[in-house]
Amino acid sequence: MSILIQTLFLCIPLVYAAHFDNGHHTGTVTSSQITEASGICASRTHKDVLYTHNDSGDTHRIFAISATSGARLATIYINGAHSQDWEDIACGPCTGGSGHCVYIGDTGGNAGGDANTIYRIREPSSIHDQSVNVDGSLEFSWDQHDCETLLVDPRGEVYVVSKVGPGHHGKFVHLPASAWNQHHHVWVSDGVYLPITASSNSPVGGDISPSGTELLLKTYGHVYYWSIPDQNYEAHIHTYPEAQPYHPERQGEAVCWKADNSGYYTLSEGANSVLFFHRRI
């Protein structure tokens, strides 16, 4: 995992738009099981519950944590999934709109190369330590080496954004729904390059709002915002985003919207990481 570098520049001056407040500490993740929180998403089924996971080196599990305290509420093992380098997690509808699902991206470049596999599970009906089965998997190949951003829109469509080195632009790609459960890697060649020029390896996380009309991407030093009123992400992602308030973190890689669209959370890797919430104003 890259050393924390606080700055990522745009090709234009940064202007903070008055969308969200400066944020407050809403909890601390003290569980000894969660030491490298690499992604985060807000449950669509359980109020004030967030899902997170560790970076490479952990096993096939995710965690439910409290959005109001950071306490671990449950450890959820995923039968049928493999953990090579899990980098991001997203909450959204299951494919076809049949209930609520959680998506996990095994897309990182650590641990011997990219698995480039998305796992989908159905949200558990209750929050307690348990094992669940994989509901679906999507394997893909592309011309990018590393990816730490997984996005799911309100239609259950899945997107990834490549993580790139200094001087390069990440690539935003839609993964075809037809690739689910094919049991082989499907090549994806289309995509749109971001207008952000990286000065560190980035982006490292992101989320599409539950409404589908807003998108966040996170780097080690900033949170960037796009308004997508028509939910045509490829048509808008090439435009310059607005930088939003952000508390500098040790190695902050996780960002997600609150389920009611009222703001966004950020969380860093490391033991006893602080959960921040930025409220919409």
Where in the chain are the domains? Answer: 24-279
Mean pLDDT to the nearest integer, 3-24: 54
Residue range 24-279 in CATH 3.10.450: no
Q: Which residues of 256-266 are buried (b: 16+ CB within 10 A; e: fewer)?
A: bbbbeeebbbb
Contacts 24+ apart (CB under 8 A), 276-279: 276/23, 276/24, 276/25, 276/26, 276/247, 277/23, 277/24, 277/26, 277/67, 278/20, 278/21, 278/22, 278/23, 278/223, 278/244, 278/245, 278/246, 279/20, 279/21, 279/23, 279/24
Contact present, 218 and 206 (Cβ < 8 Å) = yes
Distance CA 255, CA 216 (A): 8
Q: Which residues of 11-37 are buried (b: 16+ CB within 10 A; e: fewer)?
A: eeeeeeeebbeebeebbebebeebbbb
Distance CA 217, CA 222 (A): 8
Highest-confidence segment of 120-134, 163-177, 236-250? 120-134
Please tell me the predicted confidence (pLDDT) of residue 94.
95
Mean pLDDT of the chain: 91
Mean pLDDT to the nearest integer, 143-170: 94
Share of the chain above pLDDT 90, in %: 81
Q: Smallest Cα–Cα separation from 133: which of 143, 142, 123?
A: 123
Count Cα atoms within 13 angstroms, Cβ side, for 269: 17
Instruction: Read off the pTM.
Output: 0.92
Q: How many CB atoms lie within 10 A of CB 236?
A: 17
Please tell me the predicted confidence (pLDDT) of residue 1.
44
Contact present, 281 and 83 (Cβ < 8 Å) = no
Distance CA 201, CA 70 (A): 27
Question: In which band, very low, low, confident or very high, does the pLDDT at 87 lie, cut at 50, 70 and 90?
Answer: very high
Mean pLDDT to the nearest integer, 49-67: 96
